[in-house]
Amino acid sequence: AQSVSQHNHHVILSEAASLELGCNYSYGGTVNLFWYVQYPGQHLQLLLKYFSGDPLVKGIKGFEAEFIKSKFSFNLRKPSVQWSDTAEYFCAVTRSSNTGKLIFGQGTTLQVKP
């Protein structure tokens, strides 16, 4: 069965530190990849997405992610985090042939200390 793994469950960083959150998926076909973010008390919102083309995608608020097909990975990065980045981050995958069934990872809670 298709699955998504996020290896870091809880990450604590100081402001200005660099961030990388790992995401690996198990499906071998053509996929679409997403990162969603849930700020405290808010609903899930899209951070960035990859459908095709340049494997390095840039999203909102300075986030970026790199799709490495050979590693089945889509890691999220940010060079310098801010306290306002404190949130829960979810990686998600859907097959290109069935864009409706989005499979999410377990999520990573990021806590940024001021």
Provide the binding-site residues for other proteins, judged by CB under 8 A. Answer: 32, 34, 36, 42-46, 49, 51, 90, 92, 99-107
d(CA 103, CA 108): 15
Give the tokens for residue 101: 């069934």
d(CA 23, CA 2): 13
Closest approach, Cβ 76 to other proteins, in A, equals 15
Closest approach, Cβ 9 to other proteins, in A, equals 8
For other proteins, which is the closer residue by CB, 49 or 77?
Answer: 49
Coil, strand, or helix at residue 97?
A: coil
Distances (CA, A) of 47 to 2, 10, 12, 29, 109: 22, 19, 20, 23, 15
For other proteins, which is the closer residue by CB, 92 or 112?
Answer: 92
For other proteins, which is the closer residue by CB, 1 or 70?
Answer: 1
Closest approach, Cβ 104 to other proteins, in A, equals 4
Closest approach, Cβ 96 to other proteins, in A, equals 9
Give the tokens for residue 17: 């530190």
For other proteins, which is the closer residue by CB, 74 or 90?
Answer: 90
d(CA 13, CA 78): 12
